[in-house]
A and B are shown apart, each in its own frame.
Chain A
Amino acid sequence: KAGVTQTPRYLIKTRGQQVTLSCSPISGHRSVSWYQQTPGQGLQFLFEYFSETQRNKGNFPGRFSGRQFSNSRSEMNVSTLELGDSALYLCASSWVSPGTNNEQFFGPGTRLTVL
């Protein structure tokens, strides 16, 4: 069974640009969560999607958005990039609900660098 895949793995953008990251969950998984990982703040929850609906949201500005498609693939978008958005963005999928008996499986992440 293929794991969670994230594309691209590395990305370099400049301030003010926007970026779209993609996540393909494990086949059959319907919940997709996104996290931002930085050395200073650690792992912070961005949002979770289940059956194309955003079910949970962290404390990030509106520049961070996401969506989920009918095949459970998910994208996150960051508009008007700032230097502080440089981070590793991790996607995780689970069967139904993360944090219970349904283990979250993480992808390798997308390393975003904002110059």
Chain B
Amino acid sequence: AQSVTQLDSQVPVFEEAPVELRCNYSSSVSVYLFWYVQYPNQGLQLLLKYLSGSTLVKGINGFEAEFNKSQTSFHLRKPSVHISDTAEYFCAVTYRGSNYKLTFGKGTLLTVNP
């Protein structure tokens, strides 16, 4: 069975600092990987996705993630964060054999302080 581990439940950073949110997955087959963001009292919004091809994926709002198959990781990065990036971030995985069911990590709360 596939699983997703988000190593940090909370990440506090200062505005304009770089940030990395870590995500590791376990699966014995090829996977599709996603990062979603959830702002307070809202649903989830897709930030970026890795399906195949280039391992560096660029998403919305200046975020990017790198797929590392050997380390089974898909870490999310942003070189300079803003106050408005404060939200919860979820990593998710699926693969063909799962009937495309998404399995989510527990989430990382990113808090950007002035």
A98 contact set on B, CB distance < 8 A? 94, 100-102
Give a binary string over B99-114; 1 marks a CB under 8 Å from any A CB, 0 the rest. Answer: 1111111110000000
B39 to chain A, nearest CB (A): 10
Query: Given A90-B43, A108-B41, A108-B43, are A100 and B107 neighbors across the interface (CB < 8 Å)?
Result: no
Give B22-46 interface residues, CB cut-off 8 Å to A: 32, 34, 36, 41-46
Asked whether B43 lies within 8 Å of A109 as measured between CB atoms, the reply is: yes
Asked whether A4 lies within 8 Å of B43 as measured between CB atoms, the reply is: yes
B47 to chain A, nearest CB (A): 11
Closest to B34 in A: A99
Q: Give the distance in Å from the alpha carbon of A63 to the alpha carbon of B50 in the complex.
A: 35
B90 contact set on A, CB distance < 8 A? 42-43
Q: Give the distance in Å from the alpha carbon of A109 to the alpha carbon of B46 in the complex.
A: 15
Contact of A104 among B46, B95, B103 (CB under 8 A): B46
Asked whether B107 lies within 8 Å of A42 as measured between CB atoms, the reply is: yes
Q: Give the distance in Å from the alpha carbon of A106 to the alpha carbon of B46 in the complex.
A: 9
Contact of B101 among A4, A48, A107, A108 (CB under 8 A): A48
Q: Give the distance in Å from the alpha carbon of A43 to the alpha carbon of B98 in the complex.
A: 17
Q: Give the distance in Å from the alpha carbon of A25 to the alpha carbon of B95 in the complex.
A: 23
Query: Given A56-B99, A99-B32, A99-B94, are A42 and B43 neighbors across the interface (CB < 8 Å)?
Result: no
Return the 8 tightest CB-CB contacts between A and B, nearest first.
A99-B94, A106-B43, A99-B100, A43-B104, A106-B44, A42-B106, A56-B99, A97-B100
- Interface residues, chain B, CB within 8 Å of chain A? 32, 34, 36, 41-46, 49, 51, 90, 94-95, 98-107
